[in-house]
Chains A and B, each alone.
Chain A
Amino acid sequence: MLYRVIDRADVPSLVAAFMERYEVVAPVRRGEKYVFEAVSDFDEIALDYPTTIASPKKYFLPATETLFAFDARENAVTDYVDEVRPRVLFGVHACDINGIMNLNSVFNDPRYPDPYYRAHEDATLIVGVSCTPTDTCFCHLMDSEEARPGYDLFLNAIGDRYLVSIGSVTAANILESACDVREATDADRAAFRAATRARQRAFNPAIPDVQEIPMLMDAFHEDAFWDELGGRCLSCNACASVCPTCYCFDIRDTLDPGAETGRRERVWDACTSPQFAMVAGGHNFRATPAARVRHRMYHKLNGFLATHDRSLCVGCGRCAAACKVDISPIAVLEFFERKGADDGE
């Protein structure tokens, strides 16, 4: 990957250059928390943020998206136009970039590419930024602490400078025009290495590093643990809505007033909702909260890996912060850790 160095003081002009051609979405402080939002000035951006409440997935997969418009009297489609906005996601952490990569592999599956997702993706630039782990971060255990492909620029903080990895021509041109870009020195490289090591040391040691998670998900599939964990689920779907890699949706028709025309929409849905696996005639293949929570965890920690060779959970810790009853992959890792500590007796 091509990389260069810029000064921290250059970042406002980089953002200003993006704003000339794009909507810029960035982390913004809201009370004690942070959210991704469109900004109009560099000063609104909180680039050293810990983590945002929700992931930036909505810019690829909006919470409600119109697939087409129809005429219900004629039973016919009338329009397929999707509005997309050229946009820069500025200040995305590595876990979220890996989350977007996971969504890419679902929605850009060459057998069934999703044109709506693709339209958003094509119109979006991603500028990543390095981070310091919070107490609930475990991206390093999910092989997601580093963004390899998947960004246009990645800003690695090294003191009063950034070591910038450059992933696309479009971004390279804007970077060059807006900033005083220079070659990295040995001191820059050493500072980058030191920053990476400091981040590695900063992860919460209480979150256990468990080997063979996929195998364990199968091996303990029938364990009573799932009733205990899932039994307390409130089916609120908070976990799925904040998660960067929960991409399930429902498809529904919404009629305009008068019921003559309408839109077919896809709206976020979650496998934690009670009716999610119900079929016509009323049979529910995952009728209990325990079965649903187990399925969500299975897909995050095993199922996706089996078909895409990557863990779907990227360890961002958002669901751990969002869930009122303490259900998250962290609880699953802790369970596996306890099992291991039992010595098999």
Chain B
Amino acid sequence: MASNARGGAVAVHPYHQGGPALTGAELMAANPYRPWPARITSITELTATEKLFEFRFIDDAIRDAFCHAPGQFVELSLFGVGEAPISISSSPTKKGFIELCVRRAGRFTERLHRMQCGETVGIRGPFGRGFPLEAMRGHDVLLVAGGLGIAPLRSLINNIHDCRSEFGKVTIIYGSRNPQEVMFRHQFEMWRHRKDFDLYLTVDHADDTWDGEEGLVTKPFEHLEIDAANTFGALCGPPVMYRFVVQEMRKKGIPYDRIYMSFERHMKCGVGKCGHCQVGHQYCCIDGPVFNYWEAKNIQGSM
């Protein structure tokens, strides 16, 4: 219903240039579909199919205003190819850049994998509800990642690492199919020799380069000792993994509403409209992508 008639050309990004300092919310408020130019500042090959990209927003105000929570995602634009939702892999404690871990798996990611440092992309976000970091403080945390699921969990892991004393015992289980697919291997190797984390790296199929465990990501649960009443679970991985890992966490006695998981869906708009990421009555892009197990049980078709 119109309060008055106006027409012709309407600019749909009325703000920003020269405006006051922007918060993340204000960035979104004006036009949530607007990608901001960002430059690729570093590319690291993680595996044969995965690369870690570091991006910096070109506009100072945007770079300073951007803040995210572990578990949130951005929409990455390659103009002419399209957009893709990608979870943020870097920790919010590190300002000025964001890291995205991208598997080469289609037209969009093929193109991104061919890009070089110094090239420009568009980024909008951050979107969604991440892991409940504030609630986790002061507690033990059990993190379980399968395959590419390490990408969003790495943001949480690194965040915890940067304020380690604020958390209790932190256990990380990270399962891959084979040793070649283990990402961030250097970082994990380094942590294995420290007391910060209890680290379990598993592969479904080991070879002679492997000195970790062999078996499914649920295997370490056999000898895991946790203080269930004081523990938060966090998991991310391929869809088939969730049911099994959640079962193990429940067997250990972690409460329904302290098991947090990140859902993978194709968020196209990121702002609760386009419908692609709907699960039951929820939108992964605004209600999730991180849900606790209690919420997930109440969402039709979630698991």
Q: Which residues of A contact B (CB under 8 A)?
A: 21-22, 67-68, 70-72, 74-77, 80-86, 106-107, 109, 111-116, 119, 121-126, 149-152, 167-170, 218, 221, 247-253, 255, 259, 262, 264, 266, 269, 271, 276-281, 283, 285-286, 291, 295, 298-299, 302-304, 306-307
> In the complex, are the beta carbons of B122 and A75 less than 8 A apart?
yes
> In the complex, are the beta carbons of B32 and A112 less than 8 A apart?
yes
In the assembled complex, B82 has its CB within 8 A of some CB on chain A: yes
> In the complex, are the beta carbons of B276 and A276 less than 8 A apart?
yes
In the assembled complex, B29 has its CB within 8 A of some CB on chain A: yes
Q: How far is the CB of A287 from chain B (nearest CB, A)?
A: 12
> In the complex, are the beta carbons of B12 and A253 less than 8 A apart?
no
Of the residues A115, A125, A266, contact of B2 by C-beta under 8 Å: A125
> In the complex, are the beta carbons of A80 and B80 less than 8 A apart?
no
Of the residues A67, A74, A121, contact of B120 by C-beta under 8 Å: A74
Q: Which residues of B contact A (CB under 8 A)?
A: 1-13, 28-35, 37, 77-84, 103, 105-106, 108-109, 119-122, 238-239, 264-266, 268-269, 271-276, 278-282, 286, 300-301
> In the complex, are the beta carbons of B266 and A81 less than 8 A apart?
no
> In the complex, are the beta carbons of B11 and A86 less than 8 A apart?
no
Counting chain A CB atoms within 10 Å of each CB, which of B4, B29, B78, B281 scores highest?
Answer: B281
Q: How far is the CB of B194 from chain A (nearest CB, A)?
A: 33
Interface of A is mostly: mixed
Of the residues A85, A167, A280, A285, contact of B106 by C-beta under 8 Å: A280
> In the complex, are the beta carbons of A280 and B120 less than 8 A apart?
no
> In the complex, are the beta carbons of A307 and B281 less than 8 A apart?
yes
Which residue of B has the minimal Cβ distance to A101?
B1
A251 surroundings in chain B (CB, below 8 A)? 33, 82-83, 268-269, 274
B79 surroundings in chain A (CB, below 8 A)? 70-72, 75-77, 253, 262, 264
CB within 8 Å for A152 and B1 given contacts A106-B273, A306-B281: yes
A259 surroundings in chain B (CB, below 8 A)? 80
Which residue of A has the minimal Cβ distance to B31?
A115
The number of A-B residue pairs with CB atoms under 8 Å apart is 195
> In the complex, are the beta carbons of B120 and A83 less than 8 A apart?
no
Please name 4 further chain A to chain B contacts, defined as beta carbons within 8 Å, in addition to the given A149-B1, A253-B82, A264-B77, sorted by A numbering.
Answer: A83-B8, A264-B83, A271-B275, A279-B266
Q: How far is the CB of A99 from chain B (nearest CB, A)?
A: 13
B121 surroundings in chain A (CB, below 8 A)? 75
Q: How far is the CB of A234 from chain B (nearest CB, A)?
A: 20
> In the complex, are the beta carbons of A249 and B109 less than 8 A apart?
no
20 A-B pairs whose Cβ atoms sit less than 8 Å apart in the complex: A75-B37, A80-B11, A81-B10, A83-B8, A112-B28, A121-B1, A123-B6, A124-B1, A125-B1, A168-B1, A251-B274, A253-B81, A259-B80, A264-B33, A264-B79, A271-B275, A278-B266, A281-B103, A295-B301, A303-B280
B34 surroundings in chain A (CB, below 8 A)? 68, 77, 80
A115 surroundings in chain B (CB, below 8 A)? 12-13, 30-31
Complex Cα gap A143–B260 (Å): 37
Complex Cα gap A112–B79 (Å): 23
B33 surroundings in chain A (CB, below 8 A)? 67-68, 116, 251, 264
CB within 8 Å for A114 and B271 given contacts A119-B12, A302-B281: yes
Of the residues A86, A149, A170, A250, contact of B7 by C-beta under 8 Å: A86
Complex Cα gap A168–B3 (Å): 7
> In the complex, are the beta carbons of A126 and B122 less than 8 A apart?
no
B12 surroundings in chain A (CB, below 8 A)? 80-82, 115-116, 119
Q: How far is the CB of B303 from chain A (nearest CB, A)?
A: 11
> In the complex, are the beta carbons of B275 and A249 less than 8 A apart?
yes
Counting chain A CB atoms within 10 Å of each CB, which of B10, B121, B286 scores highest?
Answer: B10
B37 surroundings in chain A (CB, below 8 A)? 75-77
Which residue of A has the minimal Cβ distance to B80?
A72
> In the complex, are the beta carbons of A121 and B2 less than 8 A apart?
yes
> In the complex, are the beta carbons of A126 and B1 less than 8 A apart?
yes
A248 surroundings in chain B (CB, below 8 A)? 274-276
B273 surroundings in chain A (CB, below 8 A)? 106-107, 112, 114, 247, 249
Which residue of A has the minimal Cβ distance to B9?
A81
Complex Cα gap A278–B265 (Å): 8
CB within 8 Å for A168 and B2 given contacts A68-B33, A114-B271, A280-B266: yes
Which residue of B has the minimal Cβ distance to A79?
B11
B13 surroundings in chain A (CB, below 8 A)? 80, 115
Complex Cα gap A251–B265 (Å): 15
Complex Cα gap A277–B283 (Å): 12
Complex Cα gap A150–B2 (Å): 10
Complex Cα gap A74–B58 (Å): 13
Which residue of B has the minimal Cβ distance to A151?
B1
Of the residues A71, A85, A112, A253, contact of B271 by C-beta under 8 Å: A112
7 shortest A-B CB distances, which residue pairs? A248-B275, A303-B281, A72-B80, A112-B271, A86-B7, A86-B5, A70-B79
Of the residues A77, A150, A252, A299, contact of B122 by C-beta under 8 Å: A77
Which residue of B has the minimal Cβ distance to A254?
B80
> In the complex, are the beta carbons of A122 and B6 less than 8 A apart?
yes
> In the complex, are the beta carbons of B4 and A170 less than 8 A apart?
yes
Complex Cα gap A303–B300 (Å): 9
Q: How far is the CB of B239 from chain A (nearest CB, A)?
A: 6
> In the complex, are the beta carbons of A298 and B239 less than 8 A apart?
no
B266 surroundings in chain A (CB, below 8 A)? 277-280
